[in-house]
Each structure stands twice: as C-alpha cells, then as structure tokens.
Amino acid sequence: MKYIVVEGPIGVGKTSLARKLAARLGAELMLEQPMENPFLARFYEDMARFALPTQLFFLFQRAKQLEPLAQHDLFNHVTVADFLLDKDPLFARITLSGDELKLYDRIFETLKPQSPRPDLVIYLQAQPDTLIERVRKRGVAFERRVSEEYLAVLAETYTRFFYNYTDAPVLIVNSENLNFVDRPADLDLLMHKISTMRSRREFFNSGG
C-alpha cells in the first residue's frame, strides 16, 4: 500500500491514529491544517455566515496538499493522511444550501480529478456523546461551541457517505473501546486486521 487515509467525524481520533500508523509504517504523514483556516473560529460562532469561505478554504488547502501524490513518478513512498478529499462535500451538504452549494459543487468537481485514489480508507466510528467528550477533552478553544446535535448529524452523514463509498477498500473501525495512542496492543490488532483484509469492506472493533 502506498496511500492510506484515516477518516471519521470530529473528535473520533483520526489524526492520532494517522500519526501512529505513519510512525509504525515509516510513512510520510499528511495532516489537515485546521489552524491555518482563518474562517474556522468564526464558522463555529455563525455557521450560516461563514460556512462557504470555511469550506472553500479547506477544499483548496486539501487539494493543494494532494497535488504531489497525483504525480505518480514522485509517489514512491507510503503516505498516511487524516483526510479524504472525496468526503469534502459531506460538510458542504450540512452547512450550505442554494446558490452557495451550487458554487461549491462546481468548484469541487473541478478539483476532484486531481485527487489520487487511496489504497485503503480506515473509517473510524464513535457515538456522538463519545465525540463530544473527546472534543471537550482536547480543549481547542473554538471547538467549545460545537454542539452534540451538530456532531450527531455529522456522524450520521459520515455513516451514509461510507455506506455508499466504493472508490477504495474501506476498513470500518468501531473506536468506542479502542485506544491506539496509549494501548499498543490495540494498534497491533489493527495492523493485523489491515494485513489480513480480503474484501473491499471489512469491520474491526475491540473484539478483534
């Protein structure tokens, strides 16, 4: 595998797992850069007003990050990322409507062909109350405004997205009782599951 993506809703632990996987595999690490988005804090204060600039900034940022991977002659190492460009419209469907959504869709369709296809997507799931607990625990100031209702909608939207996603193999991971940061055995189990995958859609939880 050359390109592995870890995905899931806010607070599910995708960045932490991406870091651990990259370290274990000796891979390049490609992370979202939310702190670089000048609209994000204002988005959590007034979603209707700042959804479009927030979404477009992330779209351009992610597409730019992925450009080197689209050049196959440069793609000679393993890369682990904590975002999937194909899921970018997921947030747009929640926060945009009307002409703003039409504009976003036109721009996304222009950029999308430049995105390489992952060899594996690891989709992390957790219940909304778990997500809100993890978001509060990490203590990012502007995320304090994130409501449990928003996270519930987001988690459900992710579930629907990956139910229909067929562009790459998907390993669906129930992360409720897994701790890839503090329990190396959990990461060992996940690595074993990845190495023994035989179909394009499989499931993994704390039961193995």
Mean pLDDT per block of 10 residues along the chain (208 residues) reads 93 94 94 94 92 96 86 70 94 93 94 83 93 82 78 92 94 92 92 94 78
Give how many domains the chain has, as a whole number.
1
- The CA-based diameter of the chain, rounded to the nearest angstrom, is 49
Helical (H) or strand (E) element with 201: strand 201-204
Looking at residue 10, which CATH number applies to its domain?
3.40.50.300
pLDDT at 135: 85
Which pTM does this prediction carry? 0.92
Exposed, middle or buried by CB within 10 Å (0-12, 13-18, 19+), for 122?
buried
pLDDT at 72: 57
The strands making up 3-7's β-sheet, listed across from edge to edge, are 28-30, 79-81, 3-7, 120-125, 170-174, 201-204
pLDDT at 177: 87
pLDDT at 76: 65
Residue with tokens 């595998």: 1
At 137, list the tokens.
Answer: 């625990």
Q: How far apart are CA 12 and CA 52, in angstroms?
A: 24
Residue range(s) defining the domain that contains residue 163: 3-204
